[in-house]
Amino acid sequence: MSAAAAIDDVIHGEWHVRYNYSVGKVAGHFFEGLKQKKILASFAPSSGIAYLPPRAYCERSFEPCDGWVEAGHQGIIEAATIVTAAFENLPPPPYAIAYVRLDNVSTALVNFVRGLDLSDVPAAASKLKPGTKVKVVFKDTPEGRITDFHYELAE
Amino acid sequence: MAKDIVAVIGAAQTKFKTHYADKTYIELAQDAAKLAMDEAGVTPDEIDAVVFSMAPTQFMGVNDCDRWATSHVWGAGKPYMRIHAGGATGGSALQAGYVHIASGVYRTVLVVGADRVAETPDAQHILNLIWDRFYEHDFALNTVTMTALAAQRYMARYGATEEQFARVVVRGRKNAMGNPYAHLKGAITVDDVMNSPRVAYPYKRFDICPRSSGAAAVVLSNLDVAKQKCARPAFVNGVSAITHSVFMGDRMGVYSETEFADHDGEHIAAYEAYRQAGITDPASQIQVAELYDPFSTFQFPIVEGLGFCGRGRAAAISDEGGWDMVGGQVAVNPSGGTLCTNPIGVTGLVRIVDAANQIMGKAGQNQLPGVHNAVATAAGGSTQFFTVTMLGDDHVAPRTNV
């Protein structure tokens, strides 16, 4: 091998790592709720904030979130995007993502927005502006995972 | 209370490009270390401690690669630490070096790092792995999609358009033509940006930074060493960092204390850095801003947060040339910025290098006249970590509280 050829040489490598993530009490309660088609937000009476994703402690008052409130199955988009490029290990495009603030909840929760024609991106984006009403649609048989539901436009 | 004044006495970077076939990672870092020490006129024996700037190592593919680099950057035998704050890493590493010296513990510190973001073929796959597996990972979040979400919200709040973002790209690529180290550069048009393939609304391909490889380094010293070594140092007059909750959904809507669309961590950090540096009217006192703007949509909320104009005004001022390198009210990213060059683990440090060299009169073809104050930013995580560093040609008194 010449020196010039050696400079262009590469050594191939791959990482394969497996994990089991412990869910814990707070997320566990949330996931149990999803099995009943309920989206449960942790509630801090000290601040009046209902959190999704749920937390053990309120990040404003530093008091425990010792209550739960059920999120409404309607809410409004706070931010959205439409993805039209393929990324490795991510869903095949196109798809829409939105942060939605559900009724009874103080913070916004991300999920896919389905059921929208995404072939014309600017046209589809105009239907996903902040303030747009969306609804929650659950799978027929939820498994206790965040992917048990998605959003769709309310009208 | 800080004891010592801190100065940049040498700042250097390598060229940035997609691949470095002729060097390994540690050799790249070594190049930057050597260049910065030569600029500062110091030898490794005169460096008291080393701070290594490196973000996720899964891009370049050697876990905790700072260990690999220790002796190549002349860190063996010295106090040595790695700083990692995602995209904000380089800004945070500089600030760690600052504290080393401001505390009076060390006289001279080397801050150095390298990255090779394109060693793996899809950076966004790696970036998706920063989200938790319970609530957010499944929804294709990565740095492209998370910032597209912020941009869409910004557009809705203030009426900025895709064409206005495209002008930022055109200006950045043009500025980068005078920067021999920049990765992407050249004369392009708004139409070129608008016609590049759509990626995630509102982004087209040209709205997005490249995956860069290269290295950067800065030699920091106290005032005594700076007087001996450097005729025109860049004094570090203000450093500040703000961290948000990981959850972006906490930062939008009527209950939020901060505003996702505004990147307002940068605003909070900026005004603390300004307080330390004695900046009361940023638009008139700061001549150069080197922004961490890996996407075309970052520039408007950041220049607004830095107080160069009111909220929602930056796009119109951009259209009028207000952020141009020559003739603008503030020269924004004379280097071309992060939109043209993004070696993630050192990008924040490159911002410091470019800003410091403008103060020190070493910015080459893109050197601007009369640069007395320059600001450098960095941002990382889920638009979560923000740093702002103020550099000046004269020093202020050591800060009175930390």
Q: Residue B323 in contact with residue B303, Cβ under 8 Å? A: yes
Residue recorded with tokens 């010792």? A66
Residue A28 reports pLDDT greater than 70 = yes
User: How far is residue B217's CA from residue B36's CA, in Å, rounded to a whole number?
Assistant: 6
The percent of residues in chain A predicted with pLDDT above 70, rounded, is: 95
CA dihedral B312→B314→B316→B319, nearest 10 degrees, is -160
pTM of the model: 0.96
Query: What tokens does B201 get?
Result: 């609304």
Mean pLDDT of A19-36: 98
User: How far is residue A37's CA from residue B5's CA, in Å, rounded to a whole number?
Assistant: 60
Q: What is the pLDDT of residue B351?
A: 98
Backbone angles phi, psi at B76, to 5 degrees: -60, 135
Q: Counting one residue from A and one from B, how many pairs have CB atoms under 8 Å apart?
A: 139
Residue recorded with tokens 């490249």? B210
Residue among B142, B150, B250 minimizing CB distance to A79:
B150
Q: What is the pLDDT of residue B3?
A: 85
User: How far is residue B46's CA from residue B26's CA, in Å, rounded to a whole number?
Assistant: 21
Would you tell me which residues 96-155 of chain B have a C-beta closer than 8 angstroms to some C-beta of chain A?
Answer: 121-122, 124-125, 128, 133-136, 138-142, 144-145, 148-150, 152-153
User: Given CB atoms, is B249 within the 8 Å cutoff of chain A?
Assistant: yes
User: How far is residue A9's CA from residue A143's CA, in Å, rounded to a whole number?
Assistant: 48
Question: Which of B169, B183, B185 is CA-nearest to residue B213?
Answer: B183
Assign domain B6-121+210-392 to its CATH architecture: 3-Layer(aba) Sandwich (3.40)
User: Given CB atoms, is A13 within the 8 Å cutoff of chain B?
Assistant: yes
- Kindly report whether the peptide bond that precedes residue B202 is cis, defined as omega within 30 degrees of 0: yes
Q: Residue B228 in contact with residue B236, Cβ under 8 Å? A: no
Q: A87 vs B140: CB contact, 8 Å cut-off? A: yes
Q: Is the dihedral of CA A95, A99, A103, A104 positive or negative?
A: positive
User: Given CB atoms, is A109 within the 8 Å cutoff of chain B?
Assistant: yes
Q: Residue B207 in contact with residue B165, Cβ under 8 Å? A: yes
Q: B125 vs A88: CB contact, 8 Å cut-off? A: yes
Domains of chain B by residue range:
6-121+210-392
Q: What is the pLDDT of residue B400?
A: 62
Residue recorded with tokens 């495209």? B166
Q: B201 vs A7: CB contact, 8 Å cut-off? A: no
Q: What is the mean pLDDT of each run of 10 residues along chain B (402 residues)?
A: 90 97 97 98 98 97 97 98 98 98 97 97 92 97 97 98 98 98 98 98 98 98 97 97 96 91 96 97 98 98 98 98 97 98 98 98 97 98 96 85 52
Residue among B21, B141, B198 minimizing CB distance to A121:
B198
Instruction: Provide the 10 A C-beta neighbour count for residue A31.
Output: 18
Name the residue of chain B whose CA is nearest to A60's CA: B257
User: How far is residue A105's CA from residue B123's CA, in Å, rounded to a whole number?
Assistant: 34
Q: Which amino acid is at B238?
A: G
Query: What tokens does B124 get?
Result: 């966004």
User: Given CB atoms, is A23 within the 8 Å cutoff of chain B?
Assistant: yes
Mean pLDDT of A11-21: 95
Residue A5 reports pLDDT greater than 90 = no
- State the pLDDT confidence band at A1, using cuts at 50, 70 and 90: very low
Q: How far is B3 from chain A (nearest CA, A)?
A: 34
Query: What tokens does B264 get?
Result: 């307002």
**How far is CA B197 from each of CA B123, B146, B194, B201, rounded to the nearest angstrom?**
18, 19, 8, 11
Q: B134 vs A121: CB contact, 8 Å cut-off? A: no
Q: How far is B255 from chain A (nearest CA, A)?
A: 6
Name the residue of chain A whose CA is nearest to B128's CA: A90
Query: What tokens does A49 get?
Result: 């904030």
Chain A residues in contact with B136 by the CB 8 A cut-off are 53, 110, 146
Chain A residues in contact with B24 by the CB 8 A cut-off are none
- What b/e string do you get for B104-114 counting C-beta neighbours within 10 Å, with b at 16 or more? eebbbbbbbbb
Residue A81 reports pLDDT greater than 60 = yes
- State the pLDDT confidence band at A155, using cuts at 50, 70 and 90: confident
Would you tell me which residues 64-93 of chain B have a C-beta closer than 8 angstroms to some C-beta of chain A?
Answer: none
Residue B207 has what DSSP assignment?
Answer: G
User: How far is residue B249's CA from residue A109's CA, in Å, rounded to a whole number?
Assistant: 6
Question: Which of B249, B225, B284 is CA-nearest to residue B132?
Answer: B249
Of residues B3 and A109, the one with the higher pLDDT is A109
Residue among B61, B128, B249 minimizing CB distance to A108:
B249
Reported ipTM: the value is 0.95
Residue A149 reports pLDDT greater than 70 = yes
Residue among B199, B249, B256 minimizing CB distance to A109:
B249
Q: What is the pLDDT of residue B293?
A: 97
